[in-house]
Amino acid sequence: MTESPLLIADQGAVRTIAVHRPDKLNALDSATIEDLRAAFDAAAADPGVRVVVLTGAGPKAFVAGADIGEMAGLTPAEGRDFSLRGSRMMRGIEKMPKPVIAMVNGFALGGGLELAMSCHLRIAADSAKVGQPEVNLGLIPGFGGTQRLVRLCGRAAALELCLTGAPIDAARALQLGIVNRVVPAAELEAETMKLASQLANAAPLALRGVLDCIDTGAQTALGEALEYESAQFGLVFSTDDMREGTAAFLAKRKPAFTGR
Protein backbone atom coordinates (compact mmCIF):
# COMPACT_ATOMS: atom_id res chain seq x y z
CA MET A 1 0.00 0.00 0.00
CA THR A 2 1.37 3.40 -1.00
CA GLU A 3 2.11 5.75 1.89
CA SER A 4 -0.04 8.86 1.88
CA PRO A 5 1.81 12.02 0.83
CA LEU A 6 -0.17 14.00 3.43
CA LEU A 7 -0.17 14.06 7.22
CA ILE A 8 -3.46 15.37 8.61
CA ALA A 9 -4.17 16.20 12.25
CA ASP A 10 -6.82 18.15 14.14
CA GLN A 11 -6.24 20.35 17.16
CA GLY A 12 -9.63 21.58 18.26
CA ALA A 13 -11.17 23.40 15.29
CA VAL A 14 -7.80 23.76 13.52
CA ARG A 15 -6.83 21.14 10.94
CA THR A 16 -3.18 20.85 9.93
CA ILE A 17 -2.37 19.39 6.52
CA ALA A 18 1.32 18.65 5.94
CA VAL A 19 2.81 17.56 2.61
CA HIS A 20 4.99 14.56 3.47
CA ARG A 21 7.35 13.45 0.72
CA PRO A 22 10.68 13.53 2.58
CA ASP A 23 12.69 12.00 -0.26
CA LYS A 24 11.48 14.75 -2.65
CA LEU A 25 11.54 17.76 -0.30
CA ASN A 26 7.73 17.59 -0.40
CA ALA A 27 7.61 18.23 -4.17
CA LEU A 28 4.18 18.11 -5.81
CA ASP A 29 3.42 15.24 -8.14
CA SER A 30 0.03 14.40 -9.63
CA ALA A 31 -0.93 12.09 -6.76
CA THR A 32 -0.10 14.71 -4.14
CA ILE A 33 -2.04 17.37 -6.04
CA GLU A 34 -5.09 15.10 -6.10
CA ASP A 35 -4.72 14.24 -2.40
CA LEU A 36 -4.48 17.94 -1.53
CA ARG A 37 -7.64 18.66 -3.51
CA ALA A 38 -9.49 15.90 -1.66
CA ALA A 39 -8.12 16.99 1.73
CA PHE A 40 -9.26 20.58 1.26
CA ASP A 41 -12.67 19.47 0.00
CA ALA A 42 -13.02 17.38 3.15
CA ALA A 43 -11.95 20.27 5.39
CA ALA A 44 -14.43 22.61 3.70
CA ALA A 45 -17.27 20.11 4.28
CA ASP A 46 -16.38 19.29 7.91
CA PRO A 47 -18.35 21.52 10.32
CA GLY A 48 -15.82 20.81 13.06
CA VAL A 49 -13.01 22.47 11.09
CA ARG A 50 -12.89 26.27 11.18
CA VAL A 51 -9.29 26.93 10.09
CA VAL A 52 -6.73 24.99 8.03
CA VAL A 53 -2.96 25.24 8.43
CA LEU A 54 -0.94 24.00 5.45
CA THR A 55 2.74 23.17 5.82
CA GLY A 56 5.49 20.80 4.76
CA ALA A 57 6.72 17.93 6.89
CA GLY A 58 10.32 18.05 8.07
CA PRO A 59 12.68 20.93 8.76
CA LYS A 60 13.89 21.72 5.22
CA ALA A 61 10.96 22.43 2.95
CA PHE A 62 7.42 23.70 2.83
CA VAL A 63 7.20 22.42 -0.74
CA ALA A 64 10.35 22.59 -2.86
CA GLY A 65 8.43 22.75 -6.13
CA ALA A 66 6.66 20.49 -8.60
CA ASP A 67 8.13 17.03 -9.10
CA ILE A 68 10.70 17.54 -11.86
CA GLY A 69 11.12 13.81 -12.34
CA GLU A 70 7.45 13.53 -13.30
CA MET A 71 7.44 16.69 -15.44
CA ALA A 72 10.55 15.86 -17.45
CA GLY A 73 8.79 13.29 -19.63
CA LEU A 74 5.52 15.11 -20.27
CA THR A 75 4.29 16.01 -23.74
CA PRO A 76 2.95 19.55 -24.38
CA ALA A 77 -0.64 18.35 -23.90
CA GLU A 78 0.29 16.49 -20.72
CA GLY A 79 2.16 19.54 -19.47
CA ARG A 80 -0.93 21.69 -19.93
CA ASP A 81 -3.06 19.10 -18.13
CA PHE A 82 -0.58 18.95 -15.23
CA SER A 83 -0.66 22.75 -15.00
CA LEU A 84 -4.46 22.85 -15.02
CA ARG A 85 -4.66 20.13 -12.36
CA GLY A 86 -2.38 22.02 -9.99
CA SER A 87 -3.86 25.40 -10.77
CA ARG A 88 -7.43 24.23 -10.16
CA MET A 89 -6.46 22.60 -6.87
CA MET A 90 -4.82 25.85 -5.72
CA ARG A 91 -7.79 27.93 -6.86
CA GLY A 92 -9.91 25.62 -4.71
CA ILE A 93 -7.76 26.50 -1.70
CA GLU A 94 -8.05 30.20 -2.53
CA LYS A 95 -11.84 29.90 -2.63
CA MET A 96 -12.08 27.91 0.62
CA PRO A 97 -14.88 29.29 2.83
CA LYS A 98 -12.58 28.88 5.84
CA PRO A 99 -9.26 30.65 6.47
CA VAL A 100 -6.17 28.79 5.25
CA ILE A 101 -2.76 29.69 6.70
CA ALA A 102 0.46 28.62 5.00
CA MET A 103 3.11 27.83 7.60
CA VAL A 104 6.24 28.24 5.46
CA ASN A 105 8.89 26.29 7.32
CA GLY A 106 11.60 26.08 4.65
CA PHE A 107 11.99 26.16 0.89
CA ALA A 108 8.86 27.32 -0.98
CA LEU A 109 10.04 27.30 -4.57
CA GLY A 110 8.15 27.06 -7.85
CA GLY A 111 4.97 25.11 -7.17
CA GLY A 112 5.68 25.45 -3.47
CA LEU A 113 5.51 29.24 -3.57
CA GLU A 114 2.45 28.99 -5.81
CA LEU A 115 0.82 26.72 -3.22
CA ALA A 116 1.65 29.12 -0.40
CA MET A 117 0.29 32.08 -2.37
CA SER A 118 -3.03 30.29 -2.86
CA CYS A 119 -3.51 30.33 0.92
CA HIS A 120 -5.19 33.32 2.55
CA LEU A 121 -2.36 34.11 4.96
CA ARG A 122 1.33 33.18 5.04
CA ILE A 123 3.63 33.02 8.05
CA ALA A 124 7.27 32.23 7.26
CA ALA A 125 10.21 31.15 9.35
CA ASP A 126 13.11 33.60 9.17
CA SER A 127 15.14 30.81 7.57
CA ALA A 128 12.65 30.24 4.71
CA LYS A 129 13.47 30.90 1.07
CA VAL A 130 10.90 31.54 -1.64
CA GLY A 131 11.11 31.93 -5.40
CA GLN A 132 9.95 30.99 -8.89
CA PRO A 133 13.01 29.26 -10.41
CA GLU A 134 11.22 27.69 -13.40
CA VAL A 135 13.19 29.65 -16.02
CA ASN A 136 16.31 27.79 -14.89
CA LEU A 137 14.63 24.61 -16.17
CA GLY A 138 13.42 26.14 -19.41
CA LEU A 139 9.91 26.43 -17.97
CA ILE A 140 7.55 29.11 -16.72
CA PRO A 141 5.41 29.03 -13.55
CA GLY A 142 2.40 26.83 -14.24
CA PHE A 143 0.30 26.86 -11.06
CA GLY A 144 -0.54 30.58 -10.99
CA GLY A 145 2.81 32.08 -10.06
CA THR A 146 2.85 34.77 -12.74
CA GLN A 147 -0.66 35.86 -11.80
CA ARG A 148 -0.65 35.75 -8.00
CA LEU A 149 2.79 37.34 -7.70
CA VAL A 150 1.76 40.39 -9.70
CA ARG A 151 -1.34 40.73 -7.53
CA LEU A 152 0.58 40.36 -4.27
CA CYS A 153 3.72 42.37 -4.92
CA GLY A 154 3.26 44.25 -8.21
CA ARG A 155 4.57 43.95 -11.75
CA ALA A 156 8.21 44.91 -11.13
CA ALA A 157 8.82 42.41 -8.34
CA ALA A 158 6.87 39.67 -10.13
CA LEU A 159 8.97 40.13 -13.26
CA GLU A 160 12.20 40.09 -11.26
CA LEU A 161 11.33 36.86 -9.46
CA CYS A 162 10.04 35.06 -12.54
CA LEU A 163 12.66 36.28 -15.03
CA THR A 164 15.74 35.74 -12.84
CA GLY A 165 14.53 32.62 -11.05
CA ALA A 166 16.56 33.72 -8.03
CA PRO A 167 15.18 32.86 -4.59
CA ILE A 168 14.73 35.52 -1.92
CA ASP A 169 14.86 35.26 1.84
CA ALA A 170 11.88 35.63 4.17
CA ALA A 171 12.71 39.23 5.08
CA ARG A 172 12.62 40.27 1.42
CA ALA A 173 9.40 38.30 0.89
CA LEU A 174 7.83 40.22 3.78
CA GLN A 175 9.00 43.53 2.34
CA LEU A 176 7.40 42.66 -1.01
CA GLY A 177 4.12 41.54 0.58
CA ILE A 178 4.47 37.89 -0.44
CA VAL A 179 4.22 36.78 3.21
CA ASN A 180 2.28 38.39 6.04
CA ARG A 181 4.67 37.69 8.91
CA VAL A 182 8.18 36.41 9.53
CA VAL A 183 9.05 34.80 12.85
CA PRO A 184 12.06 32.93 14.24
CA ALA A 185 12.04 29.34 13.00
CA ALA A 186 11.80 27.99 16.55
CA GLU A 187 8.60 29.99 17.10
CA LEU A 188 6.93 29.31 13.75
CA GLU A 189 4.54 26.57 14.82
CA ALA A 190 3.52 28.33 18.04
CA GLU A 191 2.90 31.65 16.29
CA THR A 192 0.97 30.01 13.46
CA MET A 193 -1.23 28.05 15.84
CA LYS A 194 -1.83 31.19 17.90
CA LEU A 195 -3.19 32.95 14.82
CA ALA A 196 -5.15 29.85 13.77
CA SER A 197 -6.77 29.64 17.22
CA GLN A 198 -7.69 33.32 17.07
CA LEU A 199 -9.42 32.77 13.74
CA ALA A 200 -11.06 29.55 14.95
CA ASN A 201 -12.72 31.49 17.77
CA ALA A 202 -14.04 34.19 15.43
CA ALA A 203 -17.47 34.14 13.77
CA PRO A 204 -17.24 31.53 10.96
CA LEU A 205 -19.90 33.09 8.74
CA ALA A 206 -18.32 36.53 9.07
CA LEU A 207 -14.92 35.10 8.10
CA ARG A 208 -16.55 33.36 5.16
CA GLY A 209 -18.11 36.65 4.09
CA VAL A 210 -14.76 38.46 4.25
CA LEU A 211 -13.04 35.76 2.19
CA ASP A 212 -15.84 35.82 -0.38
CA CYS A 213 -15.95 39.61 -0.70
CA ILE A 214 -12.21 40.02 -1.06
CA ASP A 215 -11.89 37.22 -3.61
CA THR A 216 -14.88 38.46 -5.63
CA GLY A 217 -13.90 42.12 -5.40
CA ALA A 218 -10.36 41.47 -6.56
CA GLN A 219 -11.77 40.40 -9.93
CA THR A 220 -14.58 42.96 -10.21
CA ALA A 221 -14.91 46.67 -10.96
CA LEU A 222 -15.03 48.77 -7.78
CA GLY A 223 -18.64 49.88 -8.10
CA GLU A 224 -19.90 46.34 -8.61
CA ALA A 225 -17.67 45.06 -5.82
CA LEU A 226 -19.05 47.62 -3.36
CA GLU A 227 -22.61 46.58 -4.22
CA TYR A 228 -21.63 42.95 -3.62
CA GLU A 229 -20.11 43.84 -0.25
CA SER A 230 -23.29 45.64 0.81
CA ALA A 231 -25.37 42.60 -0.13
CA GLN A 232 -23.13 40.29 1.91
CA PHE A 233 -23.16 42.77 4.80
CA GLY A 234 -26.95 42.58 4.82
CA LEU A 235 -26.92 38.78 4.81
CA VAL A 236 -24.93 38.49 8.03
CA PHE A 237 -27.74 40.32 9.84
CA SER A 238 -29.71 37.09 9.47
CA THR A 239 -27.19 35.08 11.52
CA ASP A 240 -27.21 34.06 15.18
CA ASP A 241 -23.52 34.97 15.29
CA MET A 242 -24.30 38.60 14.45
CA ARG A 243 -26.84 38.74 17.31
CA GLU A 244 -24.37 37.06 19.65
CA GLY A 245 -21.48 39.30 18.65
CA THR A 246 -23.38 42.55 19.08
CA ALA A 247 -25.01 41.39 22.32
CA ALA A 248 -21.64 40.35 23.73
CA PHE A 249 -20.13 43.70 22.82
CA LEU A 250 -22.93 45.62 24.53
CA ALA A 251 -22.74 43.35 27.59
CA LYS A 252 -18.93 43.64 27.67
CA ARG A 253 -18.40 39.89 27.55
CA LYS A 254 -16.62 37.48 25.23
CA PRO A 255 -18.81 36.21 22.37
CA ALA A 256 -19.44 32.50 21.79
CA PHE A 257 -19.90 32.03 18.06
CA THR A 258 -21.59 28.91 16.75
CA GLY A 259 -21.40 29.38 12.98
CA ARG A 260 -25.16 29.80 12.64
Residue range 55-71: mean pLDDT, rounded: 93
- Which of 197, 245, 243, 211 is closest to 50 using CA atoms? 197
pLDDT of residue 52: 98
Q: What's the whole-model pTM score?
A: 0.95
pLDDT in tens, 9-33: 999 999 999 999 999 999 999 999 9
Q: Bridge partners of 101?
A: 53, 121
Q: Please tell me which residue in 114, 160, 224, 227 is annotated as part of the active site.
A: 114
CA dist list (Å): 164 to 114, 131, 136, 144, 175 = 16, 10, 8, 17, 18
134 is catalytic: yes
> How buried is residue 102: exposed, middle or buried, by Cβ count under 10 Å (0-12/13-18/19+)?
buried
* Residue 219 per-residue DSSP state: T
pLDDT of residue 4: 84
Rounded to the nearest 5 degrees, what angle is found at the Cα of 200, between the Cα atoms of 194 and 204?
Answer: 150
Residue range 37-43: mean pLDDT, rounded: 97
Q: Which CATH architecture has domain 6-200?
A: Alpha-Beta Complex (3.90)
Q: Which CATH architecture has domain 204-251?
A: Orthogonal Bundle (1.10)
Return the percentage of the chain with pLDDT > 70, whole number.
99
227 is catalytic: no
Residue range 34-39: mean pLDDT, rounded: 97
pLDDT of residue 2: 62
Lowest mean pLDDT across 12-21, 66-75, 127-136:
66-75
Q: Please tell me which residue in 3, 34, 134, 244 is annotated as part of the active site.
A: 134
- By the 8 A CB rule, do 82 and 32 touch? no
Residue 197 Cα to chain centre, angstroms: 17
DSSP 212-248: HHHHHHTTS-HHHHHHHHHHHHHHHTTSHHHHHHHHH
Domain extent listing, the chain = 6-200, 204-251
Q: Answer yes or no: is pLDDT of 1 > 60.
A: no
pLDDT of residue 205: 95
- By the 8 A CB rule, do 241 and 204 touch? yes
Question: Would you tell me the crossing angle of helices 111-118 and 76-94 to the nearest 10 degrees?
Answer: 30
pLDDT in tens, 169-183: 999 999 999 999 999
Handedness of CA 174, 88, 55, 160 (dihedral sign): negative
Helix (H, G, I), strand (E, B) or coil at 202: coil
